[in-house]
Structure 1
Amino acid sequence: METVSETSAAARVLAVRPVGTTAVLAELSGLHDVLALQALLLEEPLPGQVDVLAAAETVMVKADSPAAARRMGALLLGMDLAVQSHAEGKLVQIDTVYDGEDLAEVARLTGLSAEGVVAAHTGQIWTVAFGGFAPGFGYMVGENQALEVPRRSSPRTAVPAGSVALAGNYSAVYPRKSPGGWQLIGRTAAHMWDLSREQPALAAPGDRVQFRAVRELVEVAQPAASDTGAADIQSGLRILSPGLQSLIQDLGRPGHAGLGVSSAGALDRSSVRRANRIVGNQPSAAVVESVAGGLRVQAVGDQVLAVAGAPSALTVVTPSDGPDMDGADDGGQPEQVRTVPMATAFALLDGEILTVGAPERGFRSYLAIRGGAMADAVLGSRSTDTMSGIGPAPLAAGQLLAAGVATSSNVVGSPELQPEFPDTGVTVLDIVPGPRDDWFDAAALESLCSQDWAVTPRSNRVGMRLDGTPLSRSRDGELPSEGTMAGALQIPPEGQPVLFLADHPITGGYPVIGVVVDHQLDLAAQVPIGGSIRFRWAPGYGLPTSFSSPDVSQTKVSN
């Protein structure tokens, strides 16, 4: 699919750009039209629509298939945004103490006194235009431009939770302690994100916010953490060692991008489905995702397990003081050791210990337990989002992990063949150009696909940081933050690509030169640290849009 453009009057989508194979980016003339399109899409979703993410000048629409994404271009261009009536969101009042570290600097930048800044901030209604950066972080636009200020030249490494801030035309409240470059003018005790509420975000997109100046804050206690009931677990796994990192993952939580929440979920989705299928679970049952081997678990009660993903040696030990292989406890039996195959159901009897060895190829292994791994669901998913902190904590030694009831069959499945997994050599990944390939010249686009990019140790579930000959931009300036997705190749100013994975930030301000095709994301997730990636333009998607379509006003939707 190529860039689609519309040159007619305002109150319509100006252009539609592909974002990989399963999303499109609609460009609009301003925030008013962004909000109108977002409201339309939420009220009347397009066929195949999965998620909608508004930003300063764009709306990204995620689809459930490449075919649905291809059809969205013409549908978006045909929408009349002028007829959309905005439903007024709820009014949220936020008590604020105006003693921020940057209050005096904001006064200088705006030509107001400190008291004038407070009056301007409290004297208007702010509307949450879109979410991003972190769950509960809402970009709020005011009724005037009196408080327009730039970001700090040097971002802070840690901004306290509850900080009330300004940047550009926006105001926001930091929902949690995090790095940030906004100008801090005050603080609030309001909990902007609380998963115990039916609507976790205190102020969601479309809601209105009124800040009120107060002299002191009333702290509202957070709900007490629920008891996990670990002592009552009668059936499951005891974590003896989590290895380098082991997390509970399922197929993710799509549909919450507007709240600043990414889909997260397992990085190698096909391996999760395979492991669950083998033990007779539902495809979305939670599993344990483990990195680079070293995971050791002990059965609490008899369990049925399967391990898929990176091929590794699987060793089962029956302790000498535990039951023997037929379940009888004879006390003096010596320790027994056996190996079990990958992608095959096997029994781990009460007290037996499974060790997942270092991968022979690939990087991530997936351990499925019949019934699924039990954990509290957050926004409909048990997956751990390492960037936002949503979901279960990483597994720790001594933890008890209960087995659930997420089965789909009374029997286990047959052993399955696994695909080839990458090693420390070169893995080829297909990419779709754009949505911002026009920020790069022909030399940079050629360099992207003519060299091998090394996967550095700074890589994680947020993104793979690559190293090679840097790519140079062909234009200056900054790109307004816009929606992004797993598979996006974002190019920071230093020119070294970052390949976003499942825990990526939902918006970004660096241009995305291309996006890995959706069906190869599982392969990308298995490229080990020290391996290399070579990109190539995906067959059927042509040359980058900036060269194949010099006159975008004539570009049509490509099927």
Structure 2
Amino acid sequence: MRFLPASDRALLIELDGLRETLALFDTLRDDPVPGVLEAVPAARTILLEFQPHAVSARQLAAALWQRRARVADLLRGGGLDAAGRLIELPVRYDGQDLEALAEHLGISAAQLIELHTGHEYHAAFAGFAPGFVYLAGNPFGAPVPRLNTPRTRVPASSVAVAGDFGAVYPQDSPGGWQLLGTTPCSMWDMRRAPPALLQPGLRVRFVDMARAARSIHIPGEVQDAPATGATGEVPTAADDGTRLKVQSAGVQTLVQDLGRRGQTGMGVSASGALDRCALRAANRLVGNPGDAAVLENALGHLRLHCEQGAAVVAVTGADIPVQVLTASGRRIVAGTHRPLALDAGDTLDIGAPSAGVRCYVAVRGGLDVAPVLGSRATDTLAAVGPPPLRLGDVLNVGTLFGPGELHAVQPGEDMATRRALPRAGEALVLDVVLGPRTDWFPPETLAVLQEQEWTVTPQSNRVGIRLAGERPLLRTETLHAAELPSEGTVRGALQVPASGQPVLFLADHPLTGGYPVIGAVAGHHLDLCAQIPVGARLRFNVLEPFAEIVPPAAVS
């Protein structure tokens, strides 16, 4: 085992291969380590996100090191080869790469299909997108190369192979895997419980629809209409209670809370508010629990009309003008970080930020929006949760929370409500923890990371902040063309694609990624990342040199 820092609150465990990885993951699933929030298995790594106040990275590494014997026992007992439920997926072998891949392998297309359908795959782990499950197994005798240039669009339900894995794309997305065909099965459907058709641990066999000698069952087929609220839509307004009508939604206004945990087995990351400190502060100002659902607005110009009832609201986050337009026509300058009363007919009017990017609007009682997979957060990459607000939408306000529903501030929570926020063109320094793939880069690249200013580009969003620098981050020469097996990523990760221009991952980042991560923004600066505008200039301050984490028991 090799233990690598992935941030100041995440650890990457590197193992010899997939079987060892899944065996160790089985021990974590059956016997969780206290303080671990999330575990993301991949081809030969497990990413563990943990609570720093509950366990340190060194303590976590020590606990996992002691599980080596249990992992060895699982491998002797079968490990990945253990039997799970079998799912048969029908396939139309009409893929764009079928003939070319067969030629590359030195066989006919018919032989390739025979090999693919004659092999039993094992659903190993999820990543990339909701419902995208990596199917372990390779019947072709050699790893299948990815495309030299990934496609900008791979159609949903495409059956594909790459390396030593197979998969089915759950939705239209970019991708560089070799396409063999399509399946009529839907890999991800929010009308199902669970929505993902494939789950880690299942066995998968593909069936050629052109040669099937029997009627073909379509696994996971759903014919009923979706239940109300199943996809997190804003519900129709009730006849009584407080209602807020959207008169202007600005560039982007989303429902957010602190995110959804425990869904990585389906390829769904936590998501949630980008500035969690601001979300908690807004909720506390109106008397809500800190994790109640709020509105997250980017770049202002949000107007909410109190159509019915009365409401107590608060606005936090960006430095932004806030006014209340009363039913009688008065205009009251209200400001942020204070509770505001709205009567029926009043309008909350939020202007454009002078510093920062995102503001958060909480209303006492929270927002009455149906949860999706245990959360009301909107994940823009995964398309999970309520849709963005639009002009004319009506929000129901929930019932008031009682004192017993409030909770104490948890260790590590940032209670600050006002901070110095960046403006476009200004310079900002972010602390960085090196790892997990810092050793893919030479010392001169680490110098460039710290010494150079990086400009925030307009291609930034909730998935990540795309940065541009005069000098790219180049890999060590021997690793220039190397491919990194997909592994878990964290919020704040600085992923370095082939261009050498890094991407700073935010809350809606992909669960796994195949580009090396040179470091990650320290936890105390993560919320600040939500407020960095386009045009701002960043510098990175490395807190300490990169070093593997060596558990005490491993030191001879």
TM-score between both structures, scaled by the size of structure 1: 0.88
1:309 Cα offset (Å): 0.6
Distance in 1 separating the partners of 2:5 and 2:520: 9
1:406/1:543 Cα in 2 relative to 1: closer, same or farther (>3 Å)?
Answer: farther
1:417 Cα offset (Å): 4.9
Q: Are residues 1:407 and 2:412 paired?
A: no
Identify the residue that residue 112 of structure 1 maps to in structure 2.
107
CA contact (8 A) 2:237 2:395 kept: no
CA contact (8 A) 2:116 2:139 kept: no
1:423 Cα offset (Å): 2.4
1:306/1:553 Cα in 2 relative to 1: closer, same or farther (>3 Å)?
Answer: closer
Identify the residue that residue 323 of structure 2 maps to in structure 1.
315
Gaps of 5+ in 1: 1-13, 325-334
Deviations 1:527-552 (A, max 9, x none): 111112211112xxx3122xxx7xx9
Distance in 1 separating the partners of 2:30 and 2:83: 14
1:61 Cα offset (Å): 1.1
1:23 Cα offset (Å): 0.9
SS at match of 1:68: coil
CA contact (8 A) 1:261 1:388 kept: yes
Match of 1:200 among 185, 195, 201: 195
Identify the residue that residue 504 of structure 1 maps to in structure 2.
509
Identify the residue that residue 11 of structure 2 maps to in structure 1.
24
Identify the residue that residue 543 of structure 1 maps to in structure 2.
545
Q: Are residues 1:64 and 2:51 paired?
A: yes
Q: CA RMSD in A?
A: 2.4
Distance in 2 separating the partners of 1:529 and 1:553: 40
Match of 2:64 among 70, 76, 92: 76
Deviations 1:37-67 (A, max 9, x none): 1111111111111111111111111112265
CA contact (8 A) 1:233 1:402 kept: no
In structure 2, what residue type is equivalent to 1:27? E
1:439/1:67 Cα in 2 relative to 1: closer, same or farther (>3 Å)?
Answer: farther
Distance in 2 separating the partners of 1:416 and 1:366: 14
1:283 Cα offset (Å): 1.2
Match of 2:390 among 387, 396, 416: 396
Distance in 2 separating the partners of 1:507 and 1:117: 29
Distance in 1 separating the partners of 2:553 and 2:538: 32
In structure 2, what residue type is equivalent to 1:336? R
Distance in 1 separating the partners of 2:512 and 2:551: 29
CA contact (8 A) 2:323 2:335 kept: no
User: Which deviates more, 419-428 or 211-220?
Assistant: 211-220
Distance in 1 separating the partners of 2:554 and 2:435: 15
1:408/1:441 Cα in 2 relative to 1: closer, same or farther (>3 Å)?
Answer: farther
1:416/1:78 Cα in 2 relative to 1: closer, same or farther (>3 Å)?
Answer: closer
1:260 Cα offset (Å): 1.1
CA contact (8 A) 1:302 1:350 kept: yes
* 1:77-476 equivalent positions in 2, closer than 5 A: 77-80=65-68, 81-84=71-74, 85=77, 86=79, 88-142=83-137, 144-146=139-141, 148-215=143-210, 220-221=221-222, 223-227=224-228, 229-232=235-238, 234=240, 235-300=242-307, 301-319=309-327, 324=328, 335-405=329-399, 407-409=401-403, 417-424=417-424, 425-468=426-469, 469-474=471-476, 475-476=479-480
SS at match of 2:63: helix
Deviations 1:366-388 (A, max 9, x none): 00011112222111100000001
Distance in 2 separating the partners of 1:359 and 1:387: 25
In structure 1, what residue type is equivalent to 2:48? V
Distance in 2 separating the partners of 1:26 and 1:178: 29
CA contact (8 A) 1:97 1:187 kept: yes
CA contact (8 A) 1:140 1:170 kept: yes
In structure 1, what residue type is equivalent to 2:238? D
CA contact (8 A) 1:315 1:355 kept: yes
1:272 Cα offset (Å): 0.4
CA contact (8 A) 2:115 2:140 kept: no
Between the two proteins, the alignment pairs up a number of residues equal to 522
1:295 Cα offset (Å): 0.7
Gaps of 5+ in 2: 229-233, 408-414
Distance in 2 separating the partners of 1:249 and 1:308: 14
1:361 Cα offset (Å): 1.4
Identity over the aligned pairs, expressed in percent? 44
Distance in 2 separating the partners of 1:342 and 1:222: 48
Distance in 1 separating the partners of 2:438 and 2:346: 54
Identify the residue that residue 8 of structure 1 maps to in structure 2.
none
